[in-house]
Amino acid sequence: MSDDVTPIVWMNDDAIRNPALQLSGDDNVGVALRTLKESEQVNDITCNQLIPKGHKLALRPIAAGERVLKYAQTIGVARTDIAAGDHIHTHNLDFQNNDATHEFCKDIPELVVRETDVFQGYPRNDGRTGTRNFIAVLSSVNCSATAVHHIVRSIGDEVLAQYPNVDGIAAFTHGTGCGMATQGEGWDNLQRVLAGYATHPNIGGVLFVGLGCEASQIQTTLSEHSLSRGPLLCTMNIQTSGGHKKTVEQGRQHLMTMLPEVNKIARSSCPVSSLMLALQCGGSDAWSGITANPALGYASDLLVAQGGTAVLAETPEIYGAEHLLTRRAVNNSVAQSLMERIAWWQDYVERNNGSLDNNPSPGNKLGGLTTILEKSLGAVAKGGTSPLAGVFQYAQTVDCRGFVFMDSPGYDPASVTGQVAGGCNLVSFTTGRGSTFGCKPAPSLKIATNTDMYSQLEDDMDINAGSIVSDGQSVADVGQQIYDKLLRVASGEKTLSEQHGLGDNEFVPWQIGATM
């Protein structure tokens, strides 16, 4: 266990009356709702060791090699014989590749769309709607990153105060753009990300800044994605602008010209069907699949029922639960597309000498999660119960409504970057360990999975879904709370991460391939 990962001190153990929760009658494990002491009686079971809160308790004897079930699904196999009352975790539970039956389109839920709800957004000429109104300064390559930051900082708060309809000027810089192949998966990812941010509904004006000699030429990005220069899409290179200082001066002039134009657009009443929500989780724990993720899934179903779009991502974090998604795919093509992405990841980790089970982090494991199968079964709950309408490549423009999936790594900044590039104008982020994540240009709503962490990090968590366990609230009640909050945020209410100024360093395009 990593020395820099410290256990959370649980503060409300005495308030939890029920000692353990069995999530399904088929399960042979229960989840400790409070720390269980050695020799403590849990119903008719005696705890054989101390079992930390959120960790698993064997509800009956489990033979070596037998499947361990949680959510009525396999989360691994017993490494040794396990007695009833034993603590089940990394010491006695082994990962096995998912061997569930993948049925296609067997359980497609009925979806009735009623577009009645509205929010106050920024309507764009292309028919999409912004929840924020930023000006973006994008680097084509790492070599122009410092110039981008200096350009952004050249516009002070006193200047921005004159343009109340502009939410800010954001720098989007990254560590790639050269030393890479100019074709293939890595190249396509970067180009889709750059183009996706340049055309994002939360962005009213764009300034591209390059060095001049990099592999990722600005003109190539524009040409590949049919983008045209104009008053609100300007480009410049350091080498042709006369160096760093002159680039910053010219960049500032571009922004000063854009500001009055971007400020002309004001919020107006827009249908909820124009919202696209990124579904994310980070710093997950055992409560993620019990509280925050199901509640977010309920909220995403409400959004989809209004004609909106909810985008699940992080392919390594649905592995072991993808069979639940293929059952509700709207057609065989959608289901097959999801399985193709799973197969790509299996090959990807194998050729890089890895394993999909490497995904659970030390913090995840301290929070009670043992294998990627267990983590995925909780993570997929963010997708609610709506039909799976589409599967998209990383950072690909999401061009259909409803519940969809986007291929991405499980690394949160890279994953969210892809979702935002695909068009997400809101981000929902559940966390159990306490991830203080922000995102520009899409506001990020933080949802705590447990009340103890919420109390400890109350300045960073917008909603406490831990109340489902600690206070007896229903998943539906918290889900409705999340949905209502999302509409207020979409209308301009600032999330806590926005109030703290987070979101400048979370632009992380997914890099695939050799650095040369």
- pLDDT over 60 (residue 7): no
Of 230, 264, 298, the residue that ends a domain is: 264
Same domain, 284 and 254: no
Of 264, 298, 327, the residue that ends a domain is: 264
Residue 398: name the closest of 274, 253, 264, 490 by CA: 274
Same domain, 256 and 285: no
- pLDDT over 70 (residue 11): no
Residue 241 is given by DSSP the state: H
Q: What is the pLDDT of residues 447-497, one digit of tens each?
A: 999 999 999 999 999 999 999 999 999 999 999 999 999 999 999 999 999
Buried b (16+ CB within 10 A) or exposed e, 100-123: eebebbeeeeebeeeeebbbbbbb
- pLDDT over 60 (residue 135): yes
Of 43, 69, 94, the residue that ends a domain is: 94
pLDDT for the residue numbered 17: 58
Average pLDDT over residues 148-175: 98
Give the span between the Cα atoms of 108 and 251, in whole angstroms: 51
pLDDT for the residue numbered 418: 98
Q: What is the pLDDT of residues 211-255, one digit of tens each?
A: 999 999 999 999 999 999 999 999 999 999 999 999 999 999 999
Categorize the per-residue pLDDT at 15 as very low, low, confident or very high, splitting at 50, 70 and 90: very low
Residue 394: name the closest of 186, 225, 245, 246 by CA: 186
The CATH number of whichever domain residue 255 belongs to comes to: 3.40.50
Same domain, 325 and 440: yes
Same domain, 346 and 474: yes
pLDDT for the residue numbered 18: 72
Residue 513 forms part of a structural domain:
no
pTM above 0.85, yes or no: yes
Residue 371 is given by DSSP the state: S
CB atoms within 10 A of CB 212: 16
Mean pLDDT for the chain?
Answer: 94
Same domain, 312 and 253: no
Structure token digits, residue 141: 């390559």
Same domain, 223 and 335: no
Range of the domain at 311: 274-499
Residue 275: name the closest of 503, 18, 485 by CA: 485
Phi, psi of 236 (to 5 degrees): -160, 155
Give the span between the Cα atoms of 153 and 135, in whole angstroms: 13
Same domain, 226 and 312: no
All residues at 6 or more sequence positions from 336 whose CB lies less than 8 Å from its CB, including other chains: 104
Full strand arrangement of the beta sheet holding 29-32 = 20-21, 29-32, 56-58, 87-88
Higher pLDDT, 324 or 3: 324
What DSSP string runs through 161-223?
Answer: TT-TT--EEEEE--S-SSSS-SSSHHHHHHHHHHHHHHT-TTEEEEEEEE-SSSSS-HHHHHH
The total number of structural domains in the chain stands at: 3
Average pLDDT over residues 107-115: 95
Average pLDDT over residues 74-83: 97
Phi, psi of 255 (to 5 degrees): -65, -40
CB 336 within 8 A of CB 111: no
CB atoms within 10 A of CB 417: 26
Q: What is the pLDDT of residues 40-53, one digit of tens each?
A: 999 889 999 999 99
Give the span between the Cα atoms of 87 and 369, in whole angstroms: 12
Please report the beta strands in 283-401, taking only residues with DSSP state E, as ranges in sequence order. Answer: 309-312, 388-392
Could you tell me the CA-to-CA distances from 433 to 5, 23, 472 in Å, in that order? 10, 21, 21
